[in-house]
Each structure stands twice: as C-alpha cells, then as structure tokens.
Amino acid sequence: MKGRFRILAYEEGGPMRTQDSSNLRLVCITELHEKVAFWGTQGKNTVNIDRVLQKGLPCEIECEYIEPNEVFRNKFGHKFWVPENAQVEIL
C-alpha cells in the first residue's frame, strides 16, 4: 500500500533500538495524530530513517507501508509500518 503523511513529531525523540535486536525504529506522529513507524537495521540499512531525520520537522512524505498486526496496533498504537526496503519519497 502507499500513503502520504505529514509528520509533525517523533514519538520517542528519535530512532530507538528494539529490545534484544539490531532493529531500529523511528516512530513519527502525523498531523492526523496517527503513528507511522519507519524500520531499519543498525549498521546495515537505515536509509529511510536517515532521510526522514535529515529533512527535519515538519515534513511530508509519500511511501509504501504495511499495516502492523492487531497485537502491535493495540500495544504501541502504530497505524502504519514502513519497512526498511520500502520506497520513501520526501516531498
């Protein structure tokens, strides 16, 4: 799926490493108060996280995304996940 988002804030202040792994996430808050989580692997592929951070806030993006499963939606409130290999365009 593809979506367009206007990002206003970073939920955790910036990228965070997931517990017990080298996965990184950047959870962003959109103007509609939805959470978009960008994913990457530390030391391997953080291109999408880096591009969003380099653009700064606020920023508008168009990207491919997947919907997290119900467990993660309920536990963390994430509405959209952007995998590390997804296409991301900064507008």
* Locus of tokens 């996430």: 25
CATH code linked to domain 2-90: 2.40.50
The answer to whether the predicted template modeling score (pTM) of the entire model surpasses 0.75 is yes
66 C-beta neighbours (distance < 10 Å), count:
12
Classified as helix, coil or strand, 52 is: helix
pLDDT of residue 87: 97
Q: Give burial (CB, 10 Å; 0-12/13-18/19+) of 22.
A: exposed
**How high is the pLDDT of residue 21?**
80
pLDDT in tens, 24-79: 999 999 999 999 999 999 889 999 999 999 999 999 999 999 999 999 999 999 99
Q: Where are the domains of the chain?
A: 2-90
